[in-house]
Amino acid sequence: MAYIELHTSSAFSFLRAASSPETLVERAAMLGYPAVALLDRDGVSGAPRFHKAALAAGLRPLIGAELTLVTRQDPGPGTRTTWSLPVLVSSQEGWRNLCRLLSRMKLRAPKGEGALGIDELDGYTTGLIAMPGRTLLRADRHGVGGLLDRIVGTFGRANTYVELQRHLHRDQEDDNDGLVCLAEAFRVPLVATGGVSFATQDERPLFDVLTAIREHVPLHRAGRRLAANAERYLKPPAQMARLFADRPEAIHATRDLADRLQFTMADLGYRFPRYPVPDGETEISFLRKITEVGARDRYRPYYDKARAQVARELALIEKLQLAGYFLIVWDIVNFCRQQDILVQGRGSAANSAVCYSLGITAVDPVAMELLFERFLSEERGEWPDIDLDLPSGDRRERVIQHVYQKYGQHGAAMTANVITYRGKSAAREVGKALDLDEAQVDRLAKVMHQFEFSDPADTLSKKLAEVGMAGDEPRVRHFAELWRQLQDLPRHLGQHSGGMVVCQGDLSSVVPLENASMPGRVVVQWDKEDCADMGIIKVDLLGLGMMAVLQDTIHLINSRDQGSGIRDQEISLASIPADDPEVYKMLCAADTIGVFQVESRAQMATLPRLKPQKFYDLVVEVAIIRPGPIVGQMVHPYLNRRAGREAVVYDHPLLEPILKRTLGVPLFQEQLLRMAMVVANFTGGQAEDLRRAMGFKRSEQRMRQLEGLLRDGMAKNGITGEAADRMVLAITSFALYGFPESHAASFALLAYASAYFKAHYPAAFYTALLNNQPMGFYHPATLVKDAQRHGVRFNPIDVQVSDWDCTVDPDGSIRLGLRYVRGLRAEAGQRIAQPSLAQSSASFGAAGPDRCPKCGCDDPSMLENVTGPGPAHRSRGEGGARDPGSAHKFCNVCSHEWTVAPPRMGRYRSVDELVRRTGVRRDEMVVLAEIGALNSLGHNRRSALWQVERAVRPAGELFEEGYPEEMPGGRDFSPGDRHAVESPLPDMTVSERLVADYSGTGLTVGPHPLTFRRHELSMRGVLPAIELPRARAGRRVRTAGMVITRQRPGTAKGFVFLTLEDETGIANIIVRPDLYASDRLIIVESSFLMVEGVLQNQDGVISIKAERVSQLAALPDSAAIDSHDFH
Amino acid sequence: MFAALVAPSIPAAAIIDVARAFTPRFEQVGPLVLLDAGGLSRLFGSPQELGTHLSEALAKHGTGGTAPRVAIAATQTAAALLALGRPGLTVIAPGQEAKALVPLSISVLDRYEKLKKLRAGDNRHLEILTKWGIRTLGAFAAVAGPEVFERLGDHGLQWQALARGVDARPLVPWVDEVPFEAALELEWPIEGLEPLSFLLARLFEPLSERLEQADRGATVIHTSLRLTTKRVHARTLPLPSPMRDPKTLRTLVLLDLETHPPDAPIDTVRVFIEPTPGRVTQWTLLERAQPAPEQVSTLIARLGALMGDKHVGSPRLQDTWKPGAFAMDEFRVVSEEFRVKDGALAPEVLTVHSGLATVNSALRRFRFPIPTRVQVQEGRPIRVATDRHGCSSGAIVQSAGPWRTSGEWWQEGRAWDRDEWDVAMADGTIYRLVVERGVGQWFLEGVVD
């Protein structure tokens, strides 16, 4: 058969076509096409998947794109008309040109838009073949035939074909007659195409729905914007030949043209950047040298096992020619170090001793016996994957921008993230298109969401019946079918969270680039999987809140000056002592609020049972509370074995070396790989394939194949029956959700560091935590209360001293930052705290009571002021002459002399000055006044409010002039405080202050709301959280508190877990499903709860199994936080 | 002296009845009714006695629930605030208003103002006063006026005046609005619409007169006929434009009843008119004179009665690929409607492909497609046979097609999927043939002129 389809569009044309590239390929293969071309609109996002699928199906993939062109390059208003020109790629040069054209189009336009002028094609058409069609007739500005003349001039006569399509439209047939005449006139060959928008006619409804979504109208109002018929499907070659029976030359031209298209995506010309090595060195020799230096530094002593591992890795790196890649990553890590940005490699890179030696990762894979094959395998033939964790926010952005600068705007880009339609989004869009009412769409979205994750045997109609919808109703039936079809279709290109691609030379000639939504970001049109498939290497630069916290903590500790001239020794992550007993004591007590990875309710319930005593225990702790081990029922066996309640046994003697460290229970992905290798004779690459197959939904078939291989392999080793089933369950359950050991180890390091700082430098740690919210598991209010229970003192927000961020005051207490003022704009807050504006000469308050920093003596008679030049009587420190410009005091008790800090200078003298100099809005000033941030201007909260209302409302000169005379008492006002009259308003009560704190900052540094009710609660037999561990297990108890978390995990069979906080600590509550059902509103909506139930104590984990739940009345809900709910 | 009544458990109409029984000078402010009690002492005694009378009168209408609140004070504002803020009967001696208001919650002031709709736009005074810790009217009244002005502006001062019980404006007395309703109870039942015509004339004439006096026009006519079967035959007739000509109103109702006649003799006739304020219209010299709305409405109603409601109006082509699809819009006298815009109402032009030449011609569509027998060879029609007189049968000498359209797959019963063929017969006639795909039934849809 002569016909080859040269014009299909996939769903990567984003709402302009309905089939995935794989579906198109599958259909083409079924119809017997030897080759097929994919031309998506303004992009090649679907090309890698199309290429891969076509090769797998034995088809020759042909690539091209539909370019949106504009008739005028500088269109005036209302004159911009666009048309699309299909082009096919015939050579590698053509591919480069297409990528450049698409990049040019996309990089200068907002996301999702863009068009090229026809003049811009000049010079970029080599290797491209144009197939102009009906649009030639509508190009009015170029006159009859003018546009074709232009295209022929640009592409060359040999590279231009006039495209004919037949979709059984009258108008189209008219146009085809015109096109034939044009082609004859310009001696350009005709080519027939299908103009395919969907693989089969069954997908036409979905195509219509996508059109409706694109046009933002429901189907019934879409009119002629919808397809006129279902003819844009991929037709069999014979049918196409019949359709164009009157134009056989157009059919034959398809094969001739296809034969000319010799481009293949197998080699896109991508080259990883070369690292500039010193003269006389090659990349690998240089890598060897710096690895050697690094290894000697890291391994002390550099023992044989480590040396052998490094040598083995370097040999493989050399063999796979990956030295440049390691050097580039090393370079990025070096940049971070130079810029004082904390960085740590994670993921499988932590399995590499070379990465450890180069300082890319912080975990010693040799000591931890980590599996190198998980990182790099000759068999897999893939690029390694190095993920770098960076502090989230500005610092990560600096690193990303550094990469952009280093490799040029067209030399580096982020990988895309293909956003696909999933349960809820698909339900909403289909619902809107079918014009279902909003409530119905919401209900359906909910059902579909559940359906997505439910048992496949569960029928859709049953699910619909559960929410009272008839599955046999036509519209609901349409909805269900369309929803199913829309699943996983691409919706738009997003930006991957951290994957960066760099290229030697021009990346935009390898893959089209386009702007991301975020300013200053450029993304490639492929996601990370596609990049990997096309041999393009990425480096993940991931933002991690805890990295920012750790860095800020270290900075705060190192920059802290106690005011006594004694500076603490500088600290760094590397200088943290290993196996600090305080840290493990804290972990065993589950005192882990704010600690990385082990602060969740489930982690806190496990810690006292696991009782970590060394670093590896922490690695296990990080990995064990994951869906994989939980679903795979590994948690209890491990804990029981650890506690000695259960014997350590192995399903097979071969597994003992692999599972020995985890007491016979597989907990890590590496163990899964090794198990597969040992018991089923898998190679390293096969085992990794098994993990990957289980990681992706679309590879279910592959997973079954591999599971079959696994069972066959086990059978050969004599493992069958229950033991085989258990192993398969273990492998399949946490292959998907389990942690790799290296990853857990990297995280455990951060967990250890955060726990260390919490234990030893709580003020700095909590300050950093508060400055990096939102992150972690708990609300800032909970963090503040936890810090207070650890002896950290807090100072309230004060416009005279607070910075935008929270700070540590000289006395070691935390000063809340202006960032916690709700509704205060960041720029306004920074203006308040801006040093250049803080030049007011106003002073406020004293520097605090006189007290000797050495002996603590505060008896005024023993402390004397010392002035004038002369030798200092310092008992410690530098000694030498006294600074005559400073005030000094001398303690007669211990003979210590110290410099007295000058009186603190305020930034503003009055509310008026604050408003005038900072331009803070009224609503912002009101909040500042309410929370007491203006108190240091000589007010209480109410009088500050009183002043604010006047200060933000200029009364006018005339009124101001007459004001003092009108005041009762005729007091005299100086210009600075003429308005500082006494407020007639009553002071705030304690509870009003509490409410104001919570509503204005979301937290309070004052007493916990429960403090005010404690007496009454005690009378009612309500135990504070701190007393619960002392109560006998099994006893019925009452407790009460503010709800800080509500959880209803999918794995908990309907049980709900609450965490209540009172002034003494937190209490864990377990709510049975029936109690939750009967008291749902109280449990979900009350901010304060009283719970009555049976106390449980399991290995020191205290919880109350609730029997009665009631709202704690008379506590204003506004004096509470929004709990973190996880349903 | 003013009295204020608040009774949430009593219908508003009943409270107004109570107020009307005491004085014609009263004003309704939402659920609150204010009475000008000046001069009532000679009829009802002292303010205390007047209050008692009012309370008793309200209590008669009570159905339980919240007890009625009555307050009497020298200013309407004070009376209103006291009635909103205090239970039972409150009588304040003249000059004691401000003192009496002191303990009332500041929220009463907000509520009263909302009822009176005194505010223009967003107002945050209640929020500000709450933040200030001012909980009572007394606390607010005590703040110095200039300071209030400085912080809350002019409106703040107005608020403070209210808090002190000062009236912002005089009472606006209630004026009764009589409904435009009339009814006739018949001694003998009537049957048929002809006698009803006379009755309707008797009802509409005085109503139209009242409409004219009140400068109103009818927008909707509700007609309810109580039948001898004890059922009520009710019709609602919306009018295309406000009108009050009794003859037209009568004709329209009669025409409507012709289309939807009662099924039994009529006992009682009742009509109720929903009025709308009259409009002043200025005719222009530059446009063609248009028929009066009354005439057009009558004509449309007559046509509707004759053809059925859905078959009268202005045709509008629909935005769809479905051939010949149109919808009927309500007929309106707008000259622009008759113009052909963008070819939307232009006759359909057919292009017939005949190999070398194309012929442009107009398609004359049959009112109902004619079922036809068609012989097909290799997917193309080659012979047509029809029994319809005047339509030619025989071999097809030339054909173009198929032109395929399909759509509305989401609408049960409205989906279509069909092929069209343009065929030339031996006698030179050109037909449009249509086949419903899936069913296989052929039709002659039209002929080319």
Residue type, B307: M
Residue B409 has pLDDT above 90, yes or no: yes
Q: Specify the pLDDT at position A354.
A: 92
Tell me the nearest-neighbour CA distance from B393 into chain A, angstroms. 25
Closest Cα in chain A to B406? A229
CB B109 within 8 A of CB B163: yes
Tell me the nearest-neighbour CA distance from B99 into chain A, angstroms. 19
Nearest CB to A224 within list B142, B320, B401: B320
Q: Specify the pLDDT at position A624.
A: 87
The per-residue pLDDT for range B187-199, each reduced to its tens digit, is 999 988 888 999 9
The CB density around residue A340, as the number of other CB atoms within 10 Å, is: 10
Dmax (CA) for chain B in angstroms is 108
Q: Specify the pLDDT at position A1091.
A: 94
Question: Which of B151, B159, B361 is most worth mutating to test chain A (most A CB atoms within 10 A of its CB)?
Answer: B151
**Domain boundaries for CATH 3.30.1490.100 within chain B:** 183-277
Instruction: Please tell me the total number of residues recorded for chain A in this structure.
Output: 1127
List CB contacts (< 8 A) between A434 and chain B: 410
Q: Is the dihedral of CA B208, B214, B219, B220 positive or negative?
A: negative
Residue A445 has pLDDT above 90, yes or no: no
Residue A634 has pLDDT above 50, yes or no: yes
Distance CA(A1088)–CA(A1076), nearest Å, equals 16
Q: Specify the pLDDT at position B383.
A: 94
CATH superfamily of domain region B183-277 = DNA polymerase, Y-family, little finger domain (3.30.1490.100)
**Domain boundaries for CATH 3.30.70.270 within chain B:** 2-163
Closest Cα in chain B to A173? B353
Q: Specify the pLDDT at position A549.
A: 93
For A814, counting Cβ atoms within 10 Å of its Cβ (0-12 exposed, 13-18 middle, 19+ buried), the class is buried
The per-residue pLDDT for range A584-609, each reduced to its tens digit, is 999 999 999 999 989 988 888 899 88
Q: Specify the pLDDT at position A562.
A: 42
Q: Specify the pLDDT at position A726.
A: 78
Residue type, B399: S
Smallest CA-to-CA distance from B253 within B203, B180, B188 is with: B203
Smallest CA-to-CA distance from A833 within A822, A844, A819, A812 is with: A819
Q: Which residue has the tokens 């099924």?
A: B263
Q: Cα Rg for chain A, rounded, in angstroms?
A: 35
Closest Cα in chain A to B352? A170
Is residue B134 within 8 angstroms of chain A, CB to CB? Answer: yes
B313 beta partners: none
Burial of B125-137, coded b for 16+ CB within 10 Å and e otherwise, reads bbebbebbbbbbb
Residue A260 has pLDDT above 70, yes or no: yes
Is residue A921 within 8 angstroms of chain B, CB to CB? Answer: no
Q: Specify the pLDDT at position A383.
A: 73
Nearest CB to A953 within list B131, B151, B319: B151
Tokens found for residue B38: 């000046």
Closest Cα in chain B to A202? B409
Distance CA(A247)–CA(A256), nearest Å, equals 15
Is residue A1098 within 8 angstroms of chain B, CB to CB? Answer: no
What DSSP letter does each residue of B180-229 carry, written as one string?
Answer: EEEEEEEEEEE-SHHHHHHHHHHHHHHHHHHHHHTTEEEEEEEEEEEETT
Is residue B316 within 8 angstroms of chain A, CB to CB? Answer: no
Stretch B135-154: mean pLDDT: 88
Q: How confident is the model at residue A451 (pLDDT cuts 50, 70, 90)?
A: very low
Q: Apex CA A13: angle with CA A11 and CA A16, to 5°? A: 80
Is residue A229 within 8 angstroms of chain B, CB to CB? Answer: yes
Is residue B138 within 8 angstroms of chain A, CB to CB? Answer: no
Q: Apex CA B202: angle with CA B199 and CA B208, to 5°? A: 130
Residue A57 has pLDDT above 90, yes or no: yes
Contact A926 B412 (CB under 8 A): no
Question: Which of B358, B410, B436 is most worth mutating to test chain A (most A CB atoms within 10 A of its CB)?
Answer: B410
Query: In chain A, which among 205-224 make CB contacts under 8 A with chain B?
Result: 205, 208, 219-220, 223-224
Q: Specify the pLDDT at position A257.
A: 95
Phi, psi of B102, deg, nearest 5: -50, -50
Distance CA(A512)–CA(A529), nearest Å, equals 16
Q: Specify the pLDDT at position A1121.
A: 64
Stretch A76-93: mean pLDDT: 81
Is residue A984 within 8 angstroms of chain B, CB to CB? Answer: yes
Residue A986 has pLDDT above 60, yes or no: yes
- SS3 for A320-362 is CCCHHHHHHHHHHHHHHHHCCCCCEEEHHHHHCHHHHHCCCCC
Least confident of A180-184, A904-908, B50-54: A904-908
Residues near A256 by beta carbon (within 8 Å), at least 6 away in sequence: none
List CB contacts (< 8 A) between B435 and chain A: none
Contact A953 B144 (CB under 8 A): no
CB A533 within 8 A of CB A50: no
Q: Specify the pLDDT at position B333.
A: 58
Dmax (CA) for chain A in angstroms is 116
Residue A606's Cα: distance from chain center in Å?
26
Is residue B405 within 8 angstroms of chain A, CB to CB? Answer: yes
Name the residue with higher pLDDT: A254 or A494. Answer: A254
Stretch B180-186: mean pLDDT: 92
The per-residue pLDDT for range A1023-1058, each reduced to its tens digit, is 999 999 888 989 999 999 999 888 887 667 778 899
Tell me the nearest-neighbour CA distance from B418 into chain A, angstroms. 9
Q: State the pTM of this model.
A: 0.74
Tokens found for residue B208: 């139209």
Stretch A298-306: mean pLDDT: 86
Nearest CB to A986 within list B133, B353, B408: B133
Q: Specify the pLDDT at position A571.
A: 83
Q: Specify the pLDDT at position A937.
A: 86
What does the DSSP 8-state code read for residue A440?
H
Q: Which residue has the tokens 């280093």?
A: A406
Stretch B12-34: mean pLDDT: 88
List CB contacts (< 8 A) between B353 and chain A: 173
Tell me the nearest-neighbour CA distance from A990 into chain B, angstroms. 13
Burial of A538-567, coded b for 16+ CB within 10 Å and e otherwise, reads bbbbbbbbbbbbbbbbbebbeebeebeeee
Q: Specify the pLDDT at position B293.
A: 74
Tokens found for residue B396: 């097809």
A231 beta partners: none
State what percent of residues in chain A have pLDDT above 70: 85
Name the residue with higher pLDDT: A551 or A729. Answer: A551
What does the DSSP 8-state code read for residue B74?
S
Tell me the nearest-neighbour CA distance from B405 into chain A, angstroms. 5
Q: How confident is the model at residue A467 (pLDDT cuts 50, 70, 90)?
A: low
Residue A804 has pLDDT above 80, yes or no: yes
Residue type, A700: E
B91 beta partners: B72
List CB contacts (< 8 A) between B405 and chain A: 228-229
Q: What is the mean pLDDT of chain B?
A: 84
Residue type, A95: W
- The ipTM, to two decimals, is 0.70
B218 beta partners: B243, B275
Q: Specify the pLDDT at position A241.
A: 94
In angstroms, the Cα distances linking B203 to A88, A229, B208, B216, B242 are 81, 58, 9, 17, 18
The CB density around residue A29, as the number of other CB atoms within 10 Å, is: 17
Which of the listed CATH numbers 3.40.50.2300, 3.10.450.40, 3.30.70.270, 3.40.630.40 matches domain B2-163? 3.30.70.270
Least confident of A71-75, A630-634, A865-869, B40-44: A71-75
Q: How many CA atoms lie within 13 A of B336 on its CB side?
A: 1
CB B39 within 8 A of CB B17: no
Tell me the nearest-neighbour CA distance from B277 into chain A, angstroms. 36
Per DSSP, helices labelled H in A73-155 are 92-107, 135-138, 146-155
List CB contacts (< 8 A) between A170 and chain B: 351, 403
Per DSSP, helices labelled H in A385-466 are 394-407, 423-433, 438-452, 460-466
List CB contacts (< 8 A) between A224 and chain B: 319-321
Stretch A392-421: mean pLDDT: 87
Distance CA(A970)–CA(B317), nearest Å, equals 81
Is residue B409 within 8 angstroms of chain A, CB to CB? Answer: yes
Q: Specify the pLDDT at position A20.
A: 93
Name the residue with higher pLDDT: A310 or A1120. Answer: A310
List CB contacts (< 8 A) between B133 and chain A: 942, 985-988, 992
Nearest CB to A228 within list B321, B412, B419: B321
Residue B58 has pLDDT above 50, yes or no: yes
Q: How many CA atoms lie within 13 A of A1127 on its CB side?
A: 6
Chains A & B: contacts with CB separation below 8 Å: 84
CB A536 within 8 A of CB A412: no
Tell me the nearest-neighbour CA distance from A778 into chain B, angstroms. 30
What does the DSSP 8-state code read for residue A1116?
-
Contact A474 B319 (CB under 8 A): no
Tell me the nearest-neighbour CA distance from B160 into chain A, angstroms. 15
Residue A898 has pLDDT above 90, yes or no: no
Q: Specify the pLDDT at position B240.
A: 75
Is residue A912 within 8 angstroms of chain B, CB to CB? Answer: no
What DSSP letter does each residue of A14-40 carry, written as one string?
Answer: SSS--S-HHHHHHHHHHHT-SEEEEEE
Residue A53's Cα: distance from chain center in Å?
30
